[in-house]
Amino acid sequence: MVAEDRPAIRQTHWCVITGAPCSGKTSVITELSRRGFRVVPEAARAVIDAELIKGRSLSEIKADPRRFEGRIFQAKLQMEASLPAGDALFLDRALPDSIAYYVLEGLDPSEPRRQSLRVRYEQVFLFERLEFMRDRVRSENAQAADRIERLIEAAYSGLGYAIVRVPVMPIPDRIEYVLSRFLPHHLG
């Protein structure tokens, strides 16, 4: 591929908050929103919630991993394409998370990887896992969550990100940990 055939890389001021299920991402994103920061909720939860409202069970929704992961990936693509690259905002997961979930499901991750190479996030925070608990949209177990964490870390690292690991601590401390490392980039 010659240089002029390569897609332009979209540089963003977005902060990705990622991690395995039960890492506290959504709780932190919710609190950041409450504090007035611009946040983008997790696409997978939106996809699952829309199907649950239609009366489908979680096992029915996830029965076809290719279709399920494809829908989530497409939702992320559309959502990220609609966001202003210059705005400082927080994403609950981003495109590279789909690389990890495709690998987890035994699917070819080449399309999520190709699309992930077209955007650069300003910072990526990987939340370390809390004690595992199931909820209405979570079907993984603790062993799967451990594997997902490793796959997510590998996906972002493989794209050249210097991941900031966020240790287990109370939500207010995690928020301060993230803000102290992200906001200084936007205050100058």
How far apart, in whole angstroms, are the C-alpha atoms of residue 36 and residue 41?
Answer: 14
Structural domain total, the chain: 1
Record the tokens describing residue 133, joined without a space.
């608990």
Q: Taking residues 87-92, report their average pLDDT.
A: 94
pLDDT higher than threshold 90 for residue 66 = yes
What pLDDT shows up at residue 144?
82
The pLDDT of 79-95, averaged and rounded, is: 94
Which of 103, 122, 125, 121 minimizes the C-alpha distance to 113?
Answer: 103
- For residue 68, the enclosing domain spans 3-187
Place 46 in a pLDDT band, splitting at 50, 70 and 90: confident
| Backbone angle region of 146, left / alpha / beta, with phi > 0 → left and psi within -120 to 50 → alpha | alpha
pLDDT of residue 3: 45
Q: What is the DSSP string of 17-67?
A: EEESTTSSHHHHHHHHHHTT--EE--HHHHHHHHHHHTT--HHHHTSSHHH
Q: What is the mean pLDDT of residues 132-154?
A: 74
What is the pLDDT averaged over residues 80-96? 94
Q: CATH number of the domain at 91, please.
A: 3.40.50.300
Question: 105-137 burial, b if ≥16 CB within 10 A, otherwise e?
Answer: eebebeebbebbeebebbbbbbbebeebeeeeb
Identify the pLDDT of residue 1: 45
Checking if the pLDDT of 187 tops 50, the result is no
Res 129: pLDDT: 86
Q: What is the rounded average pLDDT of the residues 92-107?
A: 96
For 145, residues 6+ apart whose C-beta sits below 8 A from its C-beta are 20, 21, 22, 129, 132
**Position 161 pLDDT exceeds 70:** yes
State what percent of residues in the chain have pLDDT above 70. Answer: 88
What pTM does this model have?
Answer: 0.87
Taking only the tens place, the pLDDT of each residue in 110-128 is: 999 999 999 999 999 999 9
